A and B are shown apart, each in its own frame.
Chain A
Amino acid sequence: MRLPSNPWLRTAYARLWVRAKSIYGEPLWVAVNIGFPFFTSFSLTMVYRAYGLNSFTGFAILGGVMISFWGNVLWSMASQFNWDKQVGLFEIYISSPAPISAILVGMSLGGILGTAPSAAMVALLGWAIFHPPINAVWPAVISVFALTLASLYAMGMALSSLYLAYGREADSVNEALHEPVSLISGVYFPSTGGLSPFPLAVQAGASLIPLTLGMDALRRTLFFGQGFGEFYLDLELLALAVMGVALLFASSKALKFLENKGRRTGTIAVRQR
């Protein structure tokens, strides 16, 4: 593919290509990546089904799809710069003229492309095995899905700058974050709105996470037949868009701040703390 000699675009494309190639160049990675989301989704779908709650089985399958992306955001976006720093790659990034924002965007797009096959497999297997009841407004589903991913990966970019400041605790923080965020975001059940069992304060706090709004909006469009023009759905779409832009801005500022601080103190390429 030929790109105009715009360094930002060429950098983003290069980073996207590396990430996508790492998945598609080794198709076994799809089988590897599908393990956790599929089995978790399968088990929780079975919970709904074994106890006679068939109408909710789609929630757990959708959760399995979205947890693939959330895992990718945490492990391949948020902590990526930290790992890059450990192996000396971050030093090359900052000493080259490649814009960091382009690297992050390329990493995100590559991450989405790389996660898509395993997420699609979870969806297809879940649909084939359980036949969940669906009442979808597809244009709205596609828009919500795209906006959720954009917002989620923007959060990954913001977290990546935060993790850059961390040392070896990054992995432990990641492990500690994965489940609690899945819980309060309502990946497998509605954590906000009328069906949520959580107190209002918890729901309000959870709504600050893009995954929460995205999951709720996806459930509305996929299972409850809501489309554009529904007040709450439109509100969630707007909030997702605002969050995406704000997180992009925050990640850019935070990275710049850390880069400048690292240059001043001479610690930007220090590999272990």
Chain B
Amino acid sequence: MSSLRAMVASVRVGWYREFNWTNPLVGFTLRTVGPLASVIAASTVYYVGSINNVPPSFNPSLLAFILIGAALYAHVAAYSWVPTLAIAEGKWTYVFPQVYISPHSSLPYLTGRTLASFVTSTLTVIVSLILSFYILSSVFHTNIPFIVTPVSISLLFLAMVVNIFAALGLGLLLSAYALFATKFEWALPTYVAGLLMVFSEALFPVSSLPHPVSDVANVLPFTEFMRASRQAMIYGDMYSYFSYLGLAILGGIIVLALGLLAFRYAENRARRLGVIDKKTA
């Protein structure tokens, strides 16, 4: 019960950290502008290429494929690195050592911060999806074939919730490194975001990648999450949706278990070495 209380308190800390420096509307707008622009940019890359191809090869279904992938990739990238940030930033602001010395608090703290960011990022991705849908439809003069029904939106949301397992697992794996790192941990998120963009089928099918890279990318829970989300919003095949969702859950649980093991091991080792509050090399 105390862990749950600590987690709920950490969710609040996360929101305060993200929005309390300004009024919530400004904070939310600033957080939405980036993902919105990146979704439009990725979609425009495809549009410009396909329209100017000889002969033109524009296909609205592919535009929908990229739009969903770009939005969801930005969503995962935005919150999966939060545990790393919480540790790196926490070392500099002396927050993390304080969290650490209170009993059994580090894991609920990191989970709470991740969940806070998940909620924020879910809202920004929904706004980005809606706005980019309307902007791209009007600028490109096309109908983007989204299935917009209460069921499809619920299924998309379910896939996003399920993906928390994998994202938190990834976050904890990175945190295991961040406990020891003193200078390059800030760069990890860009690598994670970049790797997710390439290996999670965000913008192009992973089958385009060479073997065996494509085989690895093919079984990642993030890839299955993307596929399930596209089934919900574009293709509408329930059997495929639940198959992909099942694989995303299975993969997510494995990544989460690995993340927990790595974090526990790293935490014990960091405590023995006395580097929990270490800031410089």
In Å, the complex CA distance between A53 and B48 comes to 10
Nearest neighbor of A52 in chain B, beta-carbon distance: B57
- How many chain B residues touch A (CB < 8 A): the figure is 44
B191 touches A35 (CB 8 A): yes
- How many chain A residues touch B (CB < 8 A): the figure is 42
B139 touches A50 (CB 8 A): no
Residues of B within 8 A of A49 (CB): 208
A43 touches B53 (CB 8 A): no
Interface presence of A183 (CB below 8 A) = yes
Interface presence of A93 (CB below 8 A) = no
Contact of B48 among A46, A50, A173, A195 (CB under 8 A): A195
Interface of B is mostly: helix
Interface presence of A189 (CB below 8 A) = yes
- One of A100-108, A174-182, A238-246, A259-267 contacting the partner: A174-182
Interface presence of B262 (CB below 8 A) = no
Contact of B205 among A50, A173, A180, A196 (CB under 8 A): A50
B40 touches A47 (CB 8 A): no
Residues of A within 8 A of B195 (CB): 39
Interface presence of A21 (CB below 8 A) = no
Interface presence of B27 (CB below 8 A) = yes
In Å, the complex CA distance between A44 and B194 comes to 11
Residues from 157 to 191 in A contacting B, C-beta threshold 8 Å: 168-169, 172-173, 175-176, 178-180, 182-183, 187-190
User: B residues touching A (Cβ–Cβ < 8 Å)?
Assistant: 21-22, 27, 30-31, 33-38, 40-42, 44-53, 57, 62, 66, 139-140, 184, 187, 190-191, 193-195, 197-198, 202-205, 208-209
User: A residues touching B (Cβ–Cβ < 8 Å)?
Assistant: 28, 32-33, 35-36, 38-40, 42-44, 46-53, 55-56, 60, 168-169, 172-173, 175-176, 178-180, 182-183, 187-190, 195-199
Q: Which 5 A-B pairs have the closest CB atoms?
A: A39-B194, A53-B49, A179-B37, A36-B190, A50-B204
